[in-house]
């Protein structure tokens, strides 16, 4: 079987949480082969990656690897293709870094870049969604190999454990002009809350929360459920939360089991990011808010009285 | 400094956006507008221009004849000239082909700074900027929420899933901006009148020296095989809070075995 390359993201010696799923997706299409760029020798990571299903681990060693944006990963994929000699597809995660590495790589080698994929089939056909899940699309590579960026929670199962054999690759000859990362301001990956994009339960707040201080109520409800926190653009623009919590057209797309919208009117651009949730709950004091058109269970009322009661009820059921 | 801004005309997000099941392409006959993120990209370019005397901003779009409106709006905001890439042979291009076409227009003109939106609202591939940096062989500073250009150096804050990182590179470079970069200015009457006299060059596949056997949907790398609309979501139970709504939500979720 041909190799299917998987670009691995890692930091502080740990692989990204998406890694197991990416290798499982690769196993559906061929023999999983991991590709990493690291300033070390990659041996410890290779053991972990073998356990997750990588038969080969292509290791590009680059001093200061985590201070260069995207281009080392593109060079590593190119070197891995050459080293393997037989690659039928490339799979990457859905972070901005991985998506851009995939896009650049497709332009470099001539490949079919498939963004934000929610399903893969043998042969490399993919399923995608358009307009916030209003349309489901199936696509294939017309020419070149498929280069697939996979959305979390798209492929079930795990790949069988494999050898994780290290194969060193050389990217020192890469000539792409670089962008240097001079500082990182990121919360540690081990947050107490699940990641927004892949969370099972998402509680989002909108302008109806009224202030940054009062937005804490959204967090309290999310924590009662063990869910992630999201927001509308109006809440982000008002400075209640950071932009990376925005759900919608120009934010994150989520499709959790439960989506709870608090003080969100349900503008079309917000719905584009959450309308594929299984169950939608809405609390809004305006009975004519469009969010009620898509809510499975809606409450017309003041969120500041309903939510505290809901938090107590959820806690009571959990204990 | 020579600055290029890439703008795209898209179906209005406020409208009912559809994909034609027979052509498998986005229906573009409805209300089209310049993508909001591209107005912000134009704004970012104008701010760089204003801070660097002697700069010039060229707006570039690839799209059907109507896409000229997106150029005109950008010119009315204050950009200096436009390039409209249009050709029936480009219809149905994927991100890879689009980036190749845009690169063919950009490369010979030698821009110092290329500014794009981070992601279009119709395709949402967020791929064209990275591909374009690759094809032009220039540094890529994408997903920036702040932008600074000093002498030969570009820097800014790149949004990531967990926060942001500070990035910098030397010119020439490609920058893609996120929606927090700036509020776009409204064109005033003077701007709108002035825009009518600003030069807009129209170019086609031949003028760009592209091979028509490589362009358009018939030759795309990514091929859409099927399009299925999802049945519209319908509303469920709506209650008015009588003092027990919080408990009722929990009961509802429990009955559905969700908690
Ligand atoms: C190109 C484009 C992209 C966009 N992308 C996004 C996006 O990604 N995500 C997004 O969310 N929006 C996006 N928008 C913006 C969108 O159009 C709306 O402006 C936005 O979603 C509104 O946010 P909101 O519902 O919080 O605010 P509002 O529309 O102001 O709604 C606030 C709601 O809170 C209710 N409320 C107030 N007080 C209470 C209370 N005490 N109890 C209960 N309810 C209360 C009100 O009745 C009202 O319905 C985009 C717009 C455009 C043009
Ligand atoms: N047809 C086009 N014409 C001009 N610019 C484009 C075109 N397609 C994409 N772009 C640019 O690339 C950005 C990201 O688009 P996309 O990669 O399609 O999500 C857009 O905001 C534009 O700046």
Do B156 and B165 contact (CB within 8 A), yes or no?
A: no
| Residue-level pLDDT at A192 | 79
Q: Ligand 2: does its nearest atom lie under 6 Å from the Cβ of B123?
A: yes
Question: CB under 6 Å to ligand 1: residues?
Answer: A 206-208, 232-235, 246-251, 263-265, 267, 269-270, 273, 283-286, 289, 302-304; B 13, 36, 121
Q: If pLDDT is split at 50, 70 and 90, which confidence band does A190 have?
A: low
Sign of CA dihedral B9, B14, B15, B20: positive
DSSP letter at A65 equals: G
Residue B234 reports pLDDT greater than 90: no
Q: Ligand 2: does its nearest atom lie under 6 Å from the Cβ of B129?
A: yes
Distance from CA of A81 to the nearest CA of B (A): 18
Task: Considering only the C-alpha atoms of chain A, give the largest distance between any 2 of them, rounded to a whole number of Å.
Answer: 63
| Residue-level pLDDT at A86 | 98
Smallest CA-to-CA distance from B123 within B90, B93, B144 is with B93
Q: If pLDDT is split at 50, 70 and 90, which confidence band does A189 have?
A: low
Range list of H helices, A122-178: none
Q: How many whole angstroms from A6 Cα to the centroid of ligand 2?
A: 27
Q: Who's near B205: CB < 8 A, 6+ residues apart?
A: B87, B89, B90, B212, B215
Q: Which residues of A touch B259 (CB under 8 A)?
A: 225, 258, 314, 317-318
Distance CA B117, CA B6 (A): 8
| Residue-level pLDDT at B235 | 84
| Residue-level pLDDT at A221 | 98
| Residue-level pLDDT at B231 | 86
Distance CA A196, CA A191 (A): 11
ipTM for this prediction: 0.96
| Residue-level pLDDT at B58 | 98
- The C-alpha R_g of chain B, in whole angstroms, comes to 21
| Residue-level pLDDT at A251 | 96
Q: Average pLDDT of B182-209?
A: 97
Smallest CA-to-CA distance from B37 within A82, A233, A101, A19 is with A233
CB contact under 8 A, A179 and B140: yes
Distance spanning both ends of chain A, measured CA to CA:
50
Look over chain B and give the mean of its residue pLDDT values, rounded to a whole number: 96
Q: Which residues of B touch A125 (CB under 8 A)?
A: 225
List, for residues A120-147, the tens digit of each pLDDT value.
Answer: 998 889 999 999 889 999 999 999 999 9
Q: What is the SS3 assignment for B20?
A: coil
Look over chain A and give the mean of its residue pLDDT values, rounded to a whole number: 96
| Neighbour-count burial for B13-43, b at 16+ CB within 10 Å, e otherwise | beeebbbeeeebebebeeebbbbbbbbbbbb
Residue A191 reports pLDDT greater than 80: no
List, for residues B109-159, the tens digit of each pLDDT value.
Answer: 999 999 999 999 998 999 999 999 999 999 999 999 999 999 899 999 999
Q: Average pLDDT of B86-113?
A: 97
| Residue-level pLDDT at B151 | 84
Is the pTM for the entire model greater than 0.90?
Answer: yes
Q: How many whole angstroms from B132 Cα to the centroid of ligand 2?
A: 10
Do A206 and B182 contact (CB within 8 A), yes or no?
A: no
CB contact under 8 A, A297 and B13: no
List, for residues A100-109, the tens digit of each pLDDT value.
Answer: 999 999 999 9
List, for residues B2-36, the tens digit of each pLDDT value.
Answer: 999 999 999 999 999 999 988 999 998 889 999 99
């Amino acid at each position: 079987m041909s190799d299917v390359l998987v670009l691995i993201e890692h930091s502080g010696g740990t692989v990204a949480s998406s890694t197991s799923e990416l290798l499982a997706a690769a196993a559906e299409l061929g023999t999983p082969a991991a590709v990493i760029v690291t300033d070390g020798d990659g041996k410890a990571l290779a053991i972990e990656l073998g356990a997750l299903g990588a038969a080969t681990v292509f290791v590009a060693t680059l001093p200061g690897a985590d201070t260069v944006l995207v281009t080392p990963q593109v060079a590593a994929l190119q070197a891995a293709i050459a080293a393997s000699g037989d690659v039928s597809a490339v799979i990457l995660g859905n972070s901005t870094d991985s998506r851009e590495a995939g896009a650049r790589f497709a332009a470099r080698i001539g490949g079919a870049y498939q963004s934000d994929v929610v399903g893969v089939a043998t042969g490399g056909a993919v399923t995608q969604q358009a307009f916030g899940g209003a349309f489901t699309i199936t696509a294939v590579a017309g020419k070149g190999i498929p280069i697939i960026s996979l959305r979390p929670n798209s492929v079930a199962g795990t790949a069988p454990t494999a050898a994780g054999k290290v194969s060193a690759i050389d990217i020192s000859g890469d000539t792409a002009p670089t962008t240097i990362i001079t500082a990182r301001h990121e919360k540690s990956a081990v947050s107490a809350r699940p990641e927004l994009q892949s969370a099972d339960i998402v509680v989002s707040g909108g302008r109806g929360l009224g202030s940054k201080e009062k937005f804490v109520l959204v967090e309290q409800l999310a924590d009662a459920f063990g869910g992630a926190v999201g927001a509308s653009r109006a809440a982000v623009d008002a400075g209640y939360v950071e932009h990376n919590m925005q759900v919608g057209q120009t934010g994150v797309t989520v499709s959790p089991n439960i989506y709870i919208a608090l003080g969100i009117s349900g503008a079309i651009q917000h719905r584009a990011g959450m309308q594929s949730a299984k169950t939608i709950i809405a609390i809004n004091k305006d009975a004519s808010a469009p969010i009620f058109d898509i809510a499975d269970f809606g409450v017309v009322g003041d969120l500041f009285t309903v939510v505290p009661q809901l938090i107590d009820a959820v806690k009571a059921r959990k204990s | 400094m020579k600055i290029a801004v890439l703008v795209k005309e898209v179906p209005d997000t406020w409208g009912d956006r559809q994909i034609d099941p027979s052509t498998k392409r986005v229906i573009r006959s409805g209300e089209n507008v310049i993508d909001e993120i591209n107005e912000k990209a134009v704004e970012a370019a104008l701010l760089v221009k204003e801070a660097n005397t002697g700069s010039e901003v060229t707006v570039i779009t690839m799209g059907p004849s109507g896409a000229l409106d997106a150029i005109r709006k950008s010119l009315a905001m204050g950009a200096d000239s436009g390039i409209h890439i249009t050709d029936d042979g480009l219809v149905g291009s994927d991100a890879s082909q689009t980036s190749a076409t845009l690169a063919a227009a950009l490369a010979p003109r030698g821009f110092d700074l290329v500014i794009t939106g981070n992601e279009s609202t119709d395709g949402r591939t967020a791929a064209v900027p990275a591909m374009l940096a690759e094809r032009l062989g220039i540094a890529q500073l994408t997903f920036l929420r702040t932008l600074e250009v000093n002498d030969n150096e570009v820097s800014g804050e790149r949004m990531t899933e967990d926060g942001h990182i500070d990035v910098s590179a030397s010119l020439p470079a490609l920058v893609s901006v996120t929606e927090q970069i700036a509020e776009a200015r409204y064109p005033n009457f003077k701007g709108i009148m002035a825009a009518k006299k600003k030069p807009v060059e129209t170019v086609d596949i031949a003028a760009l020296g592209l091979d028509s056997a490589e362009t358009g949907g018939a030759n795309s790398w990514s091929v859409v095989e099927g399009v299925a609309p999802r049945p519209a979501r319908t509303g469920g139970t709506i209650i008015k809070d009588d003092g027990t709504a919080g408990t009722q939500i929990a009961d509802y979720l429990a009955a559905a075995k969700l908690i």
